[in-house]
Amino acid sequence: MSVETVTRVEIMRSGHIGQWAAVAGALLLTGACTQATGLAGVSASSPSTAAATGTPSVTATIPGPIPSAEHQAAEEPPEGGDPVKVPPPKLSKYKYTFPVKGCKTTYQRQLLVLPKTTIWAGQGCSFVAPIGGVVDEVNIQNRWSPATDAGADREGRFVTIVGDDGVRYLGGHLDSVAEGVRPGVRVKAGQLLGRVGRSGNARDTATNLYFAISWKTGPAFWWVRRGMVKPWSYLDAWQTGNRTYSPREETLALRGRLGETPRCAVQCSSKKTPQAGKTPKPRKTRDNDDDVITVNPSTTPFGQQ
């Protein structure tokens, strides 16, 4: 082989070697970049070459336990809108009102001695008709005396009405009776009947209204007038907005079991009359009948309203 030919071969070989060196350098450069950053977000390290020792580094955030609905409500109560006022159910065709108007009141909600309640209210507060009806009895004189404690006089000044529902309502311990209130007069629910006081056997207590529910009887059966039906559930309803909650059915049922004029069973006896030799105090004489208990004789019999 001639020297010229050998020279050409060497030149060709050196050219190929340079090309291969360039390609190898490019591959080495690409590999270095791949190890540093990865390609398209994929790690260049093979899973098989990962370190087998030590705790793996976790970079993702692991969510905690999801709190219960009750826990969330306790921590952050949801904001609600204004309460929706639902009208009370209409339980009867009658409409009632609380018997003390325009004053702050409290009253007993339990049976102590008699099925009645004491509505504590300030002196002079308005006693109003709890329902429309007809005035039945009126007593404008305070006859009660601790010396005798007569049962018929214990409520002092009082007014009773027989409502359009056929039920009798009594307001006692009054300071005064409203002008024009007399037996046979028709009144509307909420109409003034008298003023709260402490007449009768309430003279040593705070001012209050003796409130009782019963049925119509004659004045001789005063123990019926002073209360037969527990009134506080009805007072609760009338005071909180359910003005159609009626004691009519309960009163009718009780009267059916006991009769119109049952015998007195609780606090029936008066104290003994003064002993012989002692001069009793004379009772006040009356020039007219305006200050005595009067009865409306034309009231429709109970249960027929």
CA 131 vs CA 93, 95, 109, 193, 299: distances in Å:
12, 7, 21, 12, 16
Residue pair 200/140 in contact by the 8 Å Cβ criterion: no
What pLDDT shows up at residue 289? 39
Confidence of residue 250 (pLDDT cuts 50, 70, 90): very high
Stretch 217-227: mean pLDDT: 96
Coil/strand/helix, residue 169: strand
What pLDDT shows up at residue 66? 63
What pLDDT shows up at residue 67? 57
In the chain, what percentage of residues exceed pLDDT 70? Answer: 60
Residue 116 has pLDDT above 90, yes or no: yes
Q: Model's pTM, two decimal places?
A: 0.65
- Structural domains in the chain, CATH included, are 100-266+290-295 (2.70.70.10)
* Cβ contacts of 196 within 8 Å, gap of 6 or more: 100, 103, 121, 122, 123, 124, 125, 126, 127, 173, 174, 175, 207, 208, 209
What pLDDT shows up at residue 90? 74
In the chain, what percentage of residues exceed pLDDT 90? Answer: 56
Confidence of residue 112 (pLDDT cuts 50, 70, 90): confident
Confidence of residue 152 (pLDDT cuts 50, 70, 90): very high
CB-facing half-sphere around the CA of 258: CA atoms within 13 A = 18
Name which of 61-70, 75-84, 289-298 the model is least confident about: 289-298
pLDDT of 183-200, one tens digit each?
999 999 999 999 999 999
- Mean pLDDT value across the chain: 78
Confidence of residue 281 (pLDDT cuts 50, 70, 90): low
What pLDDT shows up at residue 238? 96
| Residue 123: alpha-carbon gap to chain centroid | 27
Closest residue by Cα to residue 118 from 219, 191, 197, 224: 197
pLDDT of 167-184, one tens digit each?
999 999 999 999 999 999
Name which of 4-8, 164-168, 187-191 the model is least confident about: 4-8
What pLDDT shows up at residue 283? 46
| Residue 272: alpha-carbon gap to chain centroid | 47
Confidence of residue 108 (pLDDT cuts 50, 70, 90): confident
pLDDT of 120-132, one tens digit each?
999 999 999 999 9
What pLDDT shows up at residue 208? 98
What pLDDT shows up at residue 44? 43
Confidence of residue 162 (pLDDT cuts 50, 70, 90): very high
